[in-house]
Each structure stands twice: as C-alpha cells, then as structure tokens.
C-alpha cells in the first residue's frame, strides 16, 4: 500500500485566506469598473460633439464677441470687475480666465485677467491686514501649512511669494487673505504676485482662445483655420503648458526645501485597501462607476434629440428656419405702388457699386420720409405677388436708410442700440406695423420661394450685398434679382472660387440662410454654382469643395468708406 501524507494533501488544498479572495474579486471588479468608466467617458465626449454640431455654437460665440465689442473698453473692465469680486468671494476664476481668452484674444485677455488677479490679490491682502485681521487669523489656524509658510516668508520675503504663485500649495483666494497676516510688505507682495502669476494666467487664456476655435470647428462652422494655423496654435499651447509645468515643478521643489511642506500624495488605493474600502459597495463599484454610465445614457438621449431637432436648434442665435413657399398669386390688373421717389433718391445718392452718400441723402430726408409715408398707405392686401415682393424689398431698404439717418454719423449699424435696430416695431406697411426682422423673416422668407432676396435686402454694411441704385419694380423684379445674384458672385467680397480649387469662399449669408438655399438647390454650393461656371464644372466633375466663410464686414456702406 502507498502511504498518503494527508497533512500535505490538506495543506495543498487549503482554501485561500478570505482577504486574498476579497482582494482578487475587488481587483477584477476594479478593472471592469475602469473599463466601464472609460467607455462612459468616450460616449459622453461623442455625445457632446454631436450636440455641439447641432447647436449654432459659432453664432453664439460671435454674438458674445459682438456684445463685448459693443461695450468697447468697458468689456474688459466688466470682466475684470467680475473676476475681482469672484476671487474675493472665494469663487474660482478659471472660467472667467478662459472666457477672457475666448472673447478678447491672447493679448487683451491676458492683460485683463492679469490686472484683475493682481487687483483682487492686493485688495484681499489689505482686507486681511487692516480690516478683518482677527477673522482671517482664525481661518489661518485651520490651515496647517500656514505656520511653515509664515516662517518661510519671514526669511525669504517676495521669493517665497513667487514660489507660492507658481506652485499652488495654497489656494489663490485663501492665500490672498493669509498673506496679509505675514510680515511681507505690500508692494513687494503685489509685484511678485503679478509677475509670477503671469505664466498660469497666459496658459488659461491660451486655452480659452484655442478652445473657442475648436468649438467653432466642432460646430461645423467650416470657416476654420488651415492645418498650418492649427499646428502653430497647437505648438504654442504645448510650449506654454510645458514651460508652465516645468516652472511649477521647480517652484514646488524649492518651496518644499524652504518650507518643509510636502505635497499630498494622490489618494489611490491598493487592491487590499480597495477590498476593505467602505467607499466601495458590495458589487465593488465606486460611485463614479454608477454615475458616469447614467450621465452617458442621458447624454446619448440628448444627442439623439439634438440630431432629430437639428434644424430647430440651428435657428437659435440666428435667423429662424422657414419653409419656402409661394403664398400669393401674380396679378396683371391689380393696384400698383409708385416707387418713383425712392428710385430718384437711389439714383442720386447710391453709386453703381452700392456705396451710399449718406451726407447727401440726409439733405433729402424729407423726400425719403414722403416715400415711407406712401409705403404706410399702400393697399398691401390687394397687391399681386410681384407688387408685394418689390414693395417689401424697397420698404426694408428705405427703412434701413432712415434708421441710419436717425443716428448718422455712425461707423456701423451695430453702433445703434439693439432695441432701436432690427427688432424695433416702428415701420408701417399698409395696416401692419413691423420690425425689420419681421419684414424679412415673417413677410418675405416664408411667403416667397425666393432665396435671391438675401442679395437684395441691404443692412447698410459693407458685408451686405450692394444696395441697388434703383428701386425694385414689379414688372422687372425677376431680372433685377438675377442681376443682384450675378453681381454678388462676381466680387470676392462675397464669393471666390478658383477653377479646380478644393475650397470655395462664400459670404456668410449662405451660412445664416443655408436652409433657404438648400431648399432651392439642394445645397448652398449648388446654389452658388448657378452663378459660377468654374464651380459648376467642378461639381459636375464630382469634386466637393470645402466651404470657407468670408468675414462679414459690418462697417457702414458709406461712400466715405469706399475702397
């Protein structure tokens, strides 16, 4: 018989300790949790991109920039004041720093935030030193690093402040108050703070600036930068981040040597700790493993809705989408409207390229007002299709000229207060009292299947199509609209395409009213090709030129600005 060592057998099959089992299970679940979180984050990012493409983000950015431009030098002051208040109230200023880069660009964004951050640092310092010293001292007792920092500042002065500004060992807002309790003098503190906060400030401003351009591209604005421009921006950002990180590490190392403050290690758990951690439930999933998938599912739903309602969303912050249709019948024997007075004014004060002599027109404002009175008394309801359309176009242009004269001299129609501009319901056509926007978006676009009206309605800007130096007439309106469309596509202010090129440059009218042109021709490029033989040949050959939107110049179309 063979003797069996039962002790050895029992030892070999002895079950693993419970802690080892828990560790193994926790480790496996932790790995699965990581996969779940990674997939969730990817889905969230993809959903955000879909939503961004559905939203008119580029129009929103333009709207914000236009508002900021309208404030002039008060724009940076307003943002700077908001930054100071936020910092004094312990609110993070990073969002405002990003906004400064997006709205004001690299130079003025950096200047604005730098001045605001230095101002808030100085004010908090003075408050702590002279107004609320006891209260700040009580808060300092709760901050264990402060004693070491206080001693280091006593020895190193502004050099320690410089290191603390480069290395965020102390939160910005809290530090501003705490430094007021130290022995450092005011001006060395302010100057060191200003100078050594600049790298971080510039980096965040840079992120805001490049992030705005990224959002434009993600939104499908198609006027994005070239590959070379993106490369320069990317290299600049990487260099900025690299320098900032490197300088921060040097400062952190020097700060540890001077103050003996150790950075807190990342709070990571080993597998054994994970198995025992109360932050992990029975299934071994952390809260983020549950929350992130929920957020991902919600974002997928939002993305799906955004995709289904893309046309509606595109109407936000821009012209509303409409369905083009012909509402009126042509009449050969109906009433007529006499546009002779307006025609005379246009021939006298508008040149062949649409430049307006506003100074001369102002001398004949009474004649313009007389025509506007005729428009107000027109029998609009009884007019035929072509009479209605010519009246509406002439009325829009006449009202716009009157609006400019009301505020002349102005550099741009944008200088006129918003409430007095396109949404001011002051203009009468027959029995209707309308705003300029209502004339365009309620009376013309949805009632005439005629996208060429966008080349005839003129908003007194250089970026608009030329103001025709004759009134539109019902018996010639087809020829006049076609002539306007041809003119637009013969001038690089609105259209530019070189034979065989991979890009076509279009006026932003095609972007803002893209749906109108798509309904008429299938796409904006197909519509533009009606007036460009080289572009039509490229499309017929199977080429698909990429659209780049031309800058829209809002400078007044005054003859004084003629180039």
Three-state secondary-structure class, residue 350: strand
* Closest by Cα among 170, 125, 128, 127 to 147: 170
**What DSSP string runs through 323-345?**
-----S---SSS-----HHHHHH
* Closest by Cα among 551, 341, 349 to 462: 551
For β-strands 495-496 and 546-549, DSSP reports them as unpaired
| Total Cβ atoms within 10 A of residue 236 | 14
Q: Take residue 100 and report the two structure tokens written for it.
A: 């400064």
Q: What is the pLDDT of residue 264?
A: 44
Triad 180, 181, 182: Cα angle to 5°: 95
Q: What is the pLDDT of residue 252?
A: 61
DSSP-assigned letter for residue 429: E
Q: What is the pLDDT of residue 409?
A: 92
Cross-strand bridge partners of residue 506: 495, 549
Q: What is the pLDDT of residue 445?
A: 95
Segment holding 549, helix H or strand E: strand 546-549
Q: Are 548 and 504 in contact (CB under 8 A)?
A: yes
* Residues with Cβ within 8 Å of residue 63, at least 6 apart in sequence: 317
Q: Are 557 and 354 in contact (CB under 8 A)?
A: yes
Three-state secondary-structure class, residue 62: helix
For β-strands 495-496 and 503-506, DSSP reports them as antiparallel
For residues 383 and 563, give the distance between their C-alpha atoms in angstroms, rounded to a whole number.
Answer: 40
For residues 252 and 423, give the distance between their C-alpha atoms in angstroms, rounded to a whole number.
Answer: 56
Q: Are 540 and 338 in contact (CB under 8 A)?
A: no
Q: What is the pLDDT of residue 229?
A: 52
Q: Roughly what angle, to the nearest 10 degrees, separates helices 57-71 and 94-126?
A: 40
Q: What is the pLDDT of residue 166?
A: 73
- Give the start-to-end residue ranges of the domains of the chain: 17-54+280-318, 72-265, 340-488, 495-552
* Closest by Cα among 342, 429, 413 to 381: 429
Rg, C-alpha atoms of the chain: 33
φ, ψ for residue 240, nearest 5 deg: -65, -45
Strand stretches in 427-536, DSSP E: 427-429, 432-434, 495-496, 503-506
φ, ψ for residue 505, nearest 5 deg: -100, 120
**If you search the block for the tokens 């017929």, which residue do you land on?**
540
For residues 185 and 222, give the distance between their C-alpha atoms in angstroms, rounded to a whole number.
Answer: 53
Ranges of residues in the chain whose predicted pLDDT is under 70:
1-31, 49, 52-71, 139-152, 154-156, 167-170, 212-288, 307, 309-318
For residues 161 and 126, give the distance between their C-alpha atoms in angstroms, rounded to a whole number.
Answer: 16
The widest CA-to-CA distance across the chain, in whole angstroms, is: 129
Triad 283, 286, 287: Cα angle to 5°: 115
For residues 468 and 415, give the distance between their C-alpha atoms in angstroms, rounded to a whole number.
Answer: 24
Q: What is the pLDDT of residue 278?
A: 42
Contacts made by residues 382-385, CB under 8 angstroms, sequence distance 24+: 382/334, 382/335, 383/328, 383/331, 383/334, 383/335, 383/337, 384/328, 384/329, 384/330, 384/331, 384/332, 384/334, 384/474, 385/326, 385/328, 385/329, 385/330, 385/331, 385/448
Mean of pLDDT over the chain: 79
Q: Are 258 and 228 in contact (CB under 8 A)?
A: no
Q: Take residue 193 and report the two structure tokens written for it.
A: 């703070």
* Residues with Cβ within 8 Å of residue 196, at least 6 apart in sequence: 161, 162, 163, 165, 166
Q: Whole-model pTM?
A: 0.53
Three-state secondary-structure class, residue 424: coil
* Closest by Cα among 90, 55, 86 to 175: 90
Cross-strand bridge partners of residue 388: none
Q: Take residue 208 and report the two structure tokens written for it.
A: 């805001």
């Amino acid at each position: 018989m063979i003797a069996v060592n039962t002790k050895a057998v029992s030892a070999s099959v002895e079950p693993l300790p419970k802690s080892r089992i828990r560790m193994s299970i926790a480790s496996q679940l932790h790995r699965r949790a990581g996969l779940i979180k990674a997939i969730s984050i990817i889905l969230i990012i993809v959903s955000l991109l879909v939503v961004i493409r559905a939203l008119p983000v580029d129009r929103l950015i333009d709207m914000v920039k236009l508002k900021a431009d309208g404030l002039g030098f008060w724009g940076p002051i307003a943002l700077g004041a908001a930054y100071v208040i936020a910092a004094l109230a312990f609110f993070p200023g990073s969002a405002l720093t990003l906004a400064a880069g997006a709205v004001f660009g690299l130079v003025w964004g950096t200047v604005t935030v730098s001045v605001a951050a230095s101002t808030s640092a100085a004010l908090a310092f003075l408050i702590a030193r002279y107004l609320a010293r006891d209260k700040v001292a009580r808060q300092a007792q709760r901050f264990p690093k402060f004693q070491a920092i206080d001693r280091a500042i006593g020895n190193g002065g502004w050099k320690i402040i410089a290191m603390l500004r480069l290395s965020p060992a102390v939160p910005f807002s809290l530090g501003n108050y705490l430094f007021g309790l130290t022995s450092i003098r005011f001006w060395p503190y302010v100057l060191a703070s200003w100078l050594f906060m600049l790298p971080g400030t510039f980096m965040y401003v840079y992120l805001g600036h490049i992030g705005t351009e990224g959002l434009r591209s993600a939104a499908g604005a198609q006027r994005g930068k070239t590959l070379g421009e993106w490369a320069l921006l990317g290299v600049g950002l990487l260099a900025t981040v690299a320098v900032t990180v490197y300088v921060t590490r040097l400062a952190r190392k020097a700060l540890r040597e001077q103050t003996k403050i150790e950075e807190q290690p990342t709070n990571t758990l080993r597998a054994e700790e994970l198995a025992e951690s109360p932050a992990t439930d029975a299934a071994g999933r952390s809260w983020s493993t549950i929350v992130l998938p929920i957020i991902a599912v919600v974002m997928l739903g939002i993305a799906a809705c955004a995709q289904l309602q893309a046309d509606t969303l595109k109407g936000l912050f821009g012209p509303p989408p409409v369905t083009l249709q012909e509402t009126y019948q042509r009449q050969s024997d109906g009433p007529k409207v006499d546009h002779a007075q307006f025609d005379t004014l246009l021939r006298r004060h508008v040149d062949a390229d649409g430049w307006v002599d506003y100074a001369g027109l102002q001398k004949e404002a009474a004649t313009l007002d007389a025509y506007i009175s005729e428009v107000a008394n027109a029998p609009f309801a009884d007019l035929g299709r072509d009479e209605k359309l010519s009246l509406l176009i002439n009325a829009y242009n006449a009202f716009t000229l009157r609006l400019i004269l009301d505020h002349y001299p102005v550099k741009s129609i944008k200088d006129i207060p918003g409430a007095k501009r396109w949404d001011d319901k002051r203009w009468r056509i027959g029995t209707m009292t309308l705003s300029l926007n209502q004339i365009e978006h309620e009376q013309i676009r949805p009632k005439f299947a005629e996208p060429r009206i966008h080349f005839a309605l003129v908003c007194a800007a250089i970026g608009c199509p030329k103001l025709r130096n004759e009134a539109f007439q019902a018996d010639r309106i087809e020829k006049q609209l076609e002539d306007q469309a041809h003119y637009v596509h013969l001038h690089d202010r609105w259209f530019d395409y070189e034979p065989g090129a991979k890009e076509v440059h279009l006026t932003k009218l095609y972007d803002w009213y893209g749906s109108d042109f798509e309904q008429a021709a299938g796409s904006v490029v197909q519509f533009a090709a009606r007036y460009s033989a080289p572009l039509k040949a490229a499309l017929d050959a199977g080429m698909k030129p990429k659209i780049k939107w031309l800058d829209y110049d809002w400078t007044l179309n005054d003859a004084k600005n003629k180039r």
